[in-house]
Amino acid sequence: MSEIIFLGTGGSLSTQERDNTSFLIQYDNELLLVDCPGSIIQKIKKTGYQPLELNSIFLTHTHPDHIYGLPSFVHSLMIYDCSINLYGSAECLEFCKKFLDLFHLREKKIKCRLKLFPLKPEVDYSFLTGLKVRCLSVPHHPTSLAYHFHFVEEKTDLVYSGDSPVHPPLFQEAKGADCLIHDCSAPSRYFQKYPMLASMHTNSQDLGLRSQESEVQFLIPCHFFGELDFEMDEIEKEIRQNYHNTLIIPSDFERIPIPRKRLT
């Protein structure tokens, strides 16, 4: 069974309980990483996996809390002869090349190699074993992509927004999916207090409403702001005002099976 393993569930400011959002996807014999913030080697090892088991890394955009661990990841594995695929928008990967070159991490002496594969929005890709991926541009940052993962053998779909405001095409994409992982940065009262947040992120009330409208069957909110004072009970209560299907508010290092499609 496919499984999501959260390495972090917070926003750009880490707290004692929550680090920057990133997660592993395990299916069959494949292991994927989505976004690469700090201490990623240690976090992977804490799950029981080893970094060298990683097949691919998918990046959502170039904000520091999503990519700043990439040079450290390569540097930590520099003596190992390995190749790991790196996916993201063309603009994101161009930035990553320059970022790695600052530390000379693409030189010949570095045995750990990242193979860069730029992805285009609205294109279906098939790679690895039994995995199809479709990505969408989302209006958070010029380099931003959301991802729709389809696991062929299990006939399972997972959509991940990355950091994103409410974006109707994304919820349309998620309508046929089994699971949606989506930005849920804070309760609505903070978006009322700071209206500019709505151009970059999603609040819990809007997430619940949009997810119910899109008939999302399994919702996992994440990217909770660490700089604002609220409890997860408030997030859950606001989502539940409108959303009535399965809801999991994850903790760091929580393991969640990806649900299969319901038989009708």
pLDDT in tens, 222-235: 999 999 999 999 99
pLDDT for residue 11: 97
Stated pTM of the model: 0.96
Q: How many CA atoms lie within 13 A of 159 on its CB side?
A: 26
pLDDT for residue 232: 97
pLDDT for residue 179: 95
Q: What's the CA gap between 61 and 93, in Å, rounded?
A: 9
Q: What's the CA gap between 86 and 254, in Å, rounded?
A: 24
- pLDDT band for position 153 (cuts 50, 70, 90): confident
User: Residues 13, 18, 19, 25: is their CA dihedral positive or negative?
Assistant: negative
pLDDT for residue 262: 53
Mean pLDDT of 132-141: 96
- pLDDT band for position 264 (cuts 50, 70, 90): very low
Beta strands in 105-238 (DSSP E): 112-118, 124-127, 131-137, 145-151, 156-160, 179-183, 218-222
Q: How many CA atoms lie within 13 A of 192 on its CB side?
A: 6
Spans of all domains in the chain: 3-257
pLDDT for residue 261: 61
- pLDDT band for position 263 (cuts 50, 70, 90): very low
Mean pLDDT of 168-172: 98
Of 36-45, 61-70, 97-106, 127-136, where does mean pLDDT reach its minimum? 127-136
CATH of region 3-257? 3.60.15.10
Percentage of the chain exceeding pLDDT 70: 98
Question: Can you read off the two tokens belonging to residue 58?
Answer: 């998918």
Mean pLDDT of 43-71: 97
Mean pLDDT of 237-264: 88
pLDDT for residue 29: 86
